Structure 1
């Protein structure tokens, strides 16, 4: 059944705390003002995407959402009668390598005082490495892709530590593990690292990016599939116009967002290509 005239706009984000909740609050404040309807935001930090048995889109408790791309593709692939579809708008986060593409990178970080020892990814051979969780595009998949491209596997590292749970990302904990010298290096979502350093500028001199791997597709904005076509169209038009509104463009710049641009499912084929390339490969962590 399609909602013809929903009275409120209900949103959920699965990307907090790695990304600041202020990003998603700002989007919903803007949509509330532009669409002239009350909006609400739930943030769920236990998962990176909806668990099958707690899918707020299936129950009608969420109209729009923000989740990681791996979880979004899982919903489309594993649940043939999926309750979500892509909102064709991508968030462009400030990064000199991004340009005007809705992509991001994985920053392989180390302590700056190890700069004499590590010059390129290959120098991490035999050292301790941390990543967020097994289904993390930026924490695990892209690292496996790089290892395969270098004709090696997870045995390349002396020890591998998983900082988060199997379904819960913890890029922030991975950063702390590097700072505390518990590991030599870690793979961090480039957006997470940027926000971390903005809030903790005193760590800028302590951390160095050894290399950046990617690009990878930005987190998808998704619709509840049976949301009315009129509402979907209105939301897309509003989001695409957001960077052109001086007031809201300023808010976006404060959040290090440079643009909101049109996207299609083709963007997420980037992830499928990487996943196909690493099929059968895993990182073997010692849980931390």
Structure 2
């Protein structure tokens, strides 16, 4: 939006809905005109309620980025962290886990690093948002 010359006055108000699902509901109900929604959440919601497609329109998307990471507490014992990592990276070998992952449009987990995320783009966007909407 900044590239198009829009500033903070473009929106009447900016608010946090609390979740991606709440953001979808806010747009559908008319409480919000637009919202940023995780693409995986939106895809699953469209599967659950196909009629929503007539009430929502994706106007832009950026990425691709890996979906949400699995994180652990940094104080966990290193051996436990490694066992968890191996378990997640082995999900394609377990039929039960495969059925569960498939419900979320996933097939398996892969190891990623900072190079898999455009950190510079995220930092730039965060700086623009902080400057434009300091109270959000």
Whether TM exceeds 0.5 here: the answer is yes
Q: Is the 8 A contact 1:243 1:259 kept in 2?
A: yes
Shift of 1:188: 1.2
Q: TM-score, normalised by structure 2?
A: 0.75
Q: Is the 8 A contact 1:148 1:278 kept in 2?
A: no
Shift of 1:252: 0.9
Q: Which has the higher strand share?
A: 1
> Match for residue 174 of structure 1?
23
Q: Is the 8 A contact 1:223 1:232 kept in 2?
A: yes
Q: Which has the higher helix share?
A: 2
Moved over 4 A (4+): none
> What residue ranges of structure 2 are gaps of 5+ in the alignment?
none
- Once residues 217 and 186 of structure 1 are traced to their aligned partners in structure 2, the CA distance between those partners, rounded to angstroms, is 20
In the superposition, relative to structure 1, how do residues 150 and 274 fare at CA in structure 2: closer, same or farther (>3 Å)?
farther
> Match for residue 234 of structure 1?
83
Alignment of 1:61-140 (within 5 A): none
Shift of 1:253: 0.7
Shift of 1:262: 1.0
Say what the alpha-carbon RMSD is for the aligned residues: 2.7
1:224 and 2:73 correspond: yes
Shift of 1:198: 2.6
1:283 and 2:133 correspond: yes
> Match for residue 2 of structure 2?
148
Shift of 1:217: 4.7
Question: Using CA pairs below 8 Å that are at least 6 residues apart, which structure has the higher relative contact order?
Answer: 1
Q: TM-score, normalised by structure 1?
A: 0.40
